[in-house]
Amino acid sequence: MKRIFSLLLLVSVALTGLAQGRWGAATEYPKVNEDNSVTFVVEAKGAQKVSVVGDFTLQAGGDKRHFDMKRGEKGVWTVTTPPLRSEIYSYNFYIDGVRTCDGRNMMRLRDGEQHFSSVIVGGERGDLYEVQDVAHGTLHTVWYDSPTLSASRRATIYLPAGYEQSKKKYPVLYLLHGMSGDETAWVELGRTAQIMDNLIATGKCMEMIVVMTNGNAWQQCAPTHLGGRAMQHYRNGKQGEPSFVESFGDVIKYVEDNYRVIRKREYRAIAGLSMGGGHTFQISREYPKMFDYVALFSAAVRGFNEPNTQQALKAQRDNGFKLYWIACGKDDFLYKLNRDYMAYLDTISFPYTWRESDGGHTWRNWRIYLSELAPMLFVK
Amino acid sequence: MKRIFSLLLLVSVALTGLAQGRWGAATEYPKVNEDNSVTFVVEAKGAQKVSVVGDFTLQAGGDKRHFDMKRGEKGVWTVTTPPLRSEIYSYNFYIDGVRTCDGRNMMRLRDGEQHFSSVIVGGERGDLYEVQDVAHGTLHTVWYDSPTLSASRRATIYLPAGYEQSKKKYPVLYLLHGMSGDETAWVELGRTAQIMDNLIATGKCMEMIVVMTNGNAWQQCAPTHLGGRAMQHYRNGKQGEPSFVESFGDVIKYVEDNYRVIRKREYRAIAGLSMGGGHTFQISREYPKMFDYVALFSAAVRGFNEPNTQQALKAQRDNGFKLYWIACGKDDFLYKLNRDYMAYLDTISFPYTWRESDGGHTWRNWRIYLSELAPMLFVK
């Protein structure tokens, strides 16, 4: 049968013209070299100027440097970066000013409306983001009913390896995305499934369920998913009332009705980045005694000066919790806001843990924060 | 809080430079016009020649026509297609010979190593492929253990709406992809979840579980998923022994151990396209009395002349089944092979149903075949 399929491959290739770019050299680049530099290659015969821009060249403030590529034979342009730290990197080519993904690289990430090619430099952190030879959890893409928002809404749920065959009940981490994100962001950009699989497999964190919602109240789901109709929604969508925060009880109800979870505050955690950090800041006090673990990643904690909010924060302090973790990068445009927020928390003796990092408002930091937070959760 | 987030949006946009292409005009195109023509727009100031190529221009034999785009002000190129039939279309731009996706369109599809932008023209068939306001099933991305292949392997499983809360047992359709595909193909290119949701909701087919495997024995999962390590596997991978067909019992075992399924032949179906049609052709006879419904879509049915295969086909005929459905397009490069196969089946009085369609070896046809097959399954 093997010979038959080899023959069929030839026939298929010859007749449908699929050979090029599908089974050929297309998978050779980008190439991670032995010194962890990365070589990029793109064919652009007619181009005058070609460069690669990636978050391997991210500067403080969010600007990315262009690496100019050099034209070689047959209009093939190449460049090799300096050695890079172990990480997952996203990048685009600019060909005479037009931003494109890398046609030779199958790995792509969507960040909001923008698509990037991506490459993992392994060794250290990059290994944590790769699929390793460990037991893998399951991802569920569910639709839950939200009576508050009068909509069926999409969420992504990670179940740790062994959930299906076990009779156990599990703790739950609710993990919220930022502005321009949706229910796909934490899995795609945040590598949540890989981080959790790898931390759990090496005994670095407890087994837990991770629930990743869509925090845009006007969206039923990622705009990529719905097709034309959703794109229309997306174009016309407004952040409305009721808010995602008000609807959050619908999420908890769905999860607790449909999964084997421990329905106790000491087994519920909530974390979010940027806008999702703002949601976490709100939800953690508007659903009192629900979460014993709260984490703000580069969080939009605006509004903490309002009297109602301050009263609610005092109530949250009095209700108690096990962890209130605030993480932000020194170059983040929300850094000062978070420092101001903590200065206020100090005045009311609200206990929190501060994690200051390098860098700015980036997925690099949010992946790091998740990998640091998870081991602190649900530990006796 | 609304005002605060508006303010935050402005700050965020100003400081991180995310505005352009993320929340702006980027979502306006491609535009499906009232007459079902589609207008494409791309900015390419420095370009000499820009065209769009999509499967809306697919010719017999698989060639696609280029629609030349016209340069307008500020280097913005546009073209409007003729009115198109309701369908989901994929396309690329060619900018001075470089193939790219549409930076204004969030919807993308991967077909093997190639990425396409996509757009749905609604009304008829396109509506079947859209997310409609009906109850939605759940998608599970699982890893199952395959002792035969000594690997943990990834599969995608569709559960009909209501599965979680029901106590019922369900029939199962095993749905296999073709060459260059993987466990993501039927969901992404085949729109399986939408087709099944919409058919079930309108009473046109029975509730069923759909299991979509990775049919490449040397792959643990889609190469996009694993990152660098898997890309390496993918590059070096060979179609080996044991084969995917030999390992198929591992899939059935996983599904029957982990889901509420009816373990009877009259509630199991198997279907596949191209190489997956070849797998179906093999599996349906090598796992005797397992499947009462068998469907070959543009199937690679090579080997039917071999004496062992013919003996197995006679045994399959004698074992009996409810449906053996053979579908192929008149322009398909496997059309003659399928006609020859049926000529042989006639000589041994092997009962089958022939569905001849227009068109060739395309996802357009496979989506149609799935939407025609599903209503025939598990009907008393």
Shortest CA gap A320–chain B (Å): 25
pLDDT digits (tens, 9 = 90+) for B320-351: 999 999 999 999 999 999 999 999 999 999 99
Does the beta carbon of A9 lie under 8 angstroms from any beta carbon of chain B?
yes
Does the beta carbon of B226 lie under 8 angstroms from any beta carbon of chain A?
yes
Task: In whole angstroms, give the CA distance from residue A313 to residue A286.
Answer: 9
pLDDT at B61 over 80: no
CB contact under 8 A, B7 and A302: yes
Mean pLDDT over B230-256 rounds to 77
Residues 291-310 of A with CB under 8 A from B: 300, 302-303
Count of beta carbons in the 10 Å neighbourhood of residue B293:
25
Which one of B62, B99, B239 has the shortest CB-CB distance to A103?
Answer: B99
Contacts of B85 (CB under 8 A, 6+ apart): B36, B121, B124, B125
Chain B residues with beta carbon closer than 8 angstroms to that of A135: 143, 152
Predicted pLDDT at B14: 33
Closest Cα to residue A46, out of B96, B156, B139, B101? B96
Does the beta carbon of A12 lie under 8 angstroms from any beta carbon of chain B?
yes
Task: In whole angstroms, give the CA distance from residue B164 to residue A143.
Answer: 11
CB contact under 8 A, B164 and A11: no
Query: In what helix (H) or strand (E) does residue A293 lie, and over which residues does it extend?
Result: strand A293-297
Token pair listed for B302 = 């090579």
Among the ranges given (A30-34, B28-32, B70-74), the one the predictor scored with the smallest mean pLDDT? B28-32
A240 versus A65: which is more confidently predicted?
A: A65
Predicted pLDDT at B324: 98
Predicted pLDDT at A65: 81
Closest Cα to residue B181, out of B255, B113, B232, B100? B113
- Integer CA distances (angstroms), B163 to A147, A259, A358, B217, in order: 20, 13, 46, 30
CB contact under 8 A, A226 and B11: no
Triad A343, A248, A292: Cα angle to 5°: 50
Predicted pLDDT at A17: 32
pLDDT at A60 over 60: no
pLDDT at A1 over 70: no
Token pair listed for A246 = 């008000």
Size of interface A-B (CB pairs under 8 A): 258
Model pTM? 0.91
Does the beta carbon of A230 lie under 8 angstroms from any beta carbon of chain B?
yes
pLDDT at B137 over 80: yes
Nearest chain B Cα to A48, which residue? B46
Predicted pLDDT at A26: 45
Token pair listed for B88 = 């989901």
Does the beta carbon of A16 lie under 8 angstroms from any beta carbon of chain B?
yes
CB contact under 8 A, B138 and A135: no
Token pair listed for B344 = 């042989």
Nearest chain B Cα to A111, which residue? B22
A59 versus B7: which is more confidently predicted?
A: A59
Which one of A12, A27, A230 has the shortest CB-CB distance to B234?
Answer: A27
Predicted pLDDT at A27: 60
Contacts of B50 (CB under 8 A, 6+ apart): B42, B44, B68, B69, B71, B77, B93, B94, B95, B96
Nearest chain A Cα to B188, which residue? A225
Q: Print the SS3 string covering chain B.
A: CHHHHHHHHHHHHHHHCCCCCCCCHHHCCCEECCCCCEEEEEECCCCCCEEEEEEEEECCCCCEEEEECEECHHHEEEEECCCCCCEEEEEEEEECCEEECCCCCCCEEEECCEEEEEEEECCCHHHHHCCCCCCCCEEEEEEEEECCCCEEEEEEEEECCCCCCCCCCECEEEEECCCCCCCCHHHHCCCHHHHHHHHHHCCCCCCCEEEECCCCCCCCCCHHHHCHHHHHHHHHCCCCCCCCCCCHHHHHHHHHHHCCECCCHHHEEEEEECHHHHHHHHHHHHCCCCCCEEEEECCCCCCCCCHHHHHHHHHHHHHCCCEEEEEEECCCCCHHHHHHHHHHHHHCCCCCEEEEECCCCCHHHHHHHHHHHHHHCCCC
A176 versus B45: which is more confidently predicted?
A: A176
Shortest CA gap A325–chain B (Å): 22
A183 versus B5: which is more confidently predicted?
A: A183
CB contact under 8 A, B164 and A63: no
Q: Which amino acid is it at A304? A: F
Does the beta carbon of A113 lie under 8 angstroms from any beta carbon of chain B?
yes
B148 versus B60: which is more confidently predicted?
A: B148
Exposed/middle/buried for residue B370 (C-beta within 10 Å: 0-12, 13-18, 19+): buried
CB contact under 8 A, B120 and A227: yes
Exposed/middle/buried for residue A89 (C-beta within 10 Å: 0-12, 13-18, 19+): buried
Q: Which of A11, A49, A120, A141 to mutate to test the interface with B (most CBs of B within 10 A)?
A: A141
Closest Cα to residue A138, out of B203, B224, B141, B74? B141
pLDDT at B105 over 90: no
Mean pLDDT over A347-351 rounds to 98
Task: In whole angstroms, give the CA distance from residue B74 to residue B61.
Answer: 38
Mean pLDDT over A40-57 rounds to 90
Shortest CA gap B380–chain A (Å): 30
Task: In whole angstroms, give the CA distance from residue B316 to residue B106.
Answer: 46
Chain A residues with beta carbon closer than 8 angstroms to that of B234: 27
